[in-house]
Amino acid sequence: MPVKNRFAELQSEITEWRRDIHENPEILFETHRTSALVAEKLKEFGCDEIVTGIGRTGVVGVIKGKSDSTGKVIGLRADMDALPILEATGLDYASKTDGAMHACGHDGHTAMLLGAAKYLSETRNFDGTVVVIFQPAEEGGGGGREMCEDGMMDRWNIQEVYGMHNWPGKPVGSFGIRAGAFFAATDQFDITLEGLGGHAAMPQKTVDTTVMAAQAVMALQTIASRNADPVDQVVVSVTSFQTSSNAFNVIPQTVQMKGTVRTMSGEMRDLAEKRINEICAGVAATFGGAADVNYIRGYPAMVNHEEQTEFAADVARKVSGDCEHADLVMGGEDFAFMLEERPGAYILVGNGDTAAVHHPEYNFNDEAIPAGCSWWAEIVEQRMPSTI
């Protein structure tokens, strides 16, 4: 079962949609133009129901099959938002919005799901109902969580849900997936260390927050090296270090540090949060200072369900002949919220030899469109085969 011929026919049209979205990127929940475009296309396709405003600016389309003997409902999800990055591709269809860019391929995800929706609306060669989900604010805003909190899963009785992401470095149109934890939980921390500022020539009269913070940065690395089980994954990265003074001869009163924690299990997530608080308090006390830690939990780990992953991989092999066992990804993905509510799976589709995602020279590879559309369509037609 190779790529569907219909998607080869539609590729140029889908590419036009994709490049239009690319040219007009919108960040987080501000996907007003993109959401309107999606709703307009779904109406053109003849979807049975179109609802906007789910999760603020999300769009849901409902497509009914030729029959519905089992009441099966499958959700297919694509993200729509861009990143606050200045584009450096030099493309004819490069971003027209200064400081915003589709640097993660969500323009491609949206266009491919629109292509699948057009095909499924034309053929309806399945038994049950498809719910196509177009989500805002994947890039840090938690749009997936908000769509779930708006009751999306229960409102349309979604029983399984599937998502996809392009992957630079994988051959175009090939696939990769893994069961269980796949993408990491993404937490962040803000730490303020308080000491006693003063003249740098008289350190004995100060509580030096710079030394205190430097010790804390190094000590935080022991969470991975000495607290974590070596077979469990955890990353603790301090990414910002700012003192309250820029003078060469002043020991600052405070130092502020920011960073991120990435984990694959709830137990490791709890341990990392606990140890960050303990280490910072202990280091600060050692030097006679104080620590204030604000630990902010972000997306949970994205966990693929076993049965749905096996099915998704089988469909991918039939579409492209290739579905590798994917590596763990320490980046985050808020499709995790949907997989917490319903069983499902998330797959990677090859983007070829391109710049990495979140890079100013990245561009979604339009040659991946037929494979991505075919996978989504076959998920539906194989999971809910027509009885007519």
Task: Give me the CATH number covering residue 62.
Answer: 3.40.630.10
Q: What is the pLDDT of residue 322?
A: 86
Q: What is the pLDDT of residue 161?
A: 98
Per-residue pLDDT band for 3 (boundaries 50, 70, 90) equals: confident
> 289 in a domain, yes or no?
yes
Q: What is the pLDDT of residue 388?
A: 85
**Phi, psi of 242, rounded to the nearest 5 degrees:** -130, 125
Q: What angle do CA 327, 333, 339 make, to 5 degrees?
A: 95
CA distances from 109 to 76, 105, 203, 357, 369 (A): 11, 6, 56, 13, 9
> 388 in a domain, yes or no?
no
Closest CA to 79 of 374, 334, 361: 334
Q: What is the pLDDT of residue 134?
A: 98
- How many domains would you assign to the chain? 2
Annotated ligand binding at 102? The verdict is: no
Cβ count within 10 A of residue 225: 10
> 213 in a domain, yes or no?
yes
Q: What is the pLDDT of residue 118?
A: 98
> 372 in a domain, yes or no?
yes
Same domain, 176 and 47: yes
Same domain, 232 and 149: no
- What range defines the domain where residue 10 resides? 5-180+301-383
Domain-ending residue, one of 238, 267, 299: 299
| pLDDT tens-place string over residues 85-127 | 999 999 999 999 999 999 999 999 999 999 999 999 999 999 9
pTM (2 d.p.): 0.95
Annotated ligand binding at 381? The verdict is: no
Cross-strand partners of 82 = 27
CA distances from 121 to 3, 34, 198, 375 (A): 18, 20, 71, 16
Domain-ending residue, one of 268, 299, 330: 299
Asked whether 83 and 104 are in contact (CB, 8 A), the reply is yes
C-alpha 263/C-alpha 324 separation (Å) is 23
pLDDT (mean) for 20-33: 98
Three-class secondary structure of residue 148 per DSSP: helix
Instruction: Using CB atoms within 10 Å of the CB of residue 166, give its burial: 0 to 12 exposed, 13 to 18 middle, 19+ buried.
Output: buried
| pLDDT tens-place string over residues 319-357 | 999 899 999 999 999 999 999 999 999 999 999 999 999
Annotated ligand binding at 273? The verdict is: no
C-alpha 281/C-alpha 273 separation (Å) is 13
Q: What is the pLDDT of residue 4?
A: 82
Mean pLDDT of the chain: 97
Annotated ligand binding at 325? The verdict is: no
| pLDDT tens-place string over residues 61-71 | 999 999 999 99
The share of the chain scoring above pLDDT 70, in percent, equals 99
Annotated ligand binding at 165? The verdict is: yes
Per-residue pLDDT band for 1 (boundaries 50, 70, 90) equals: very low
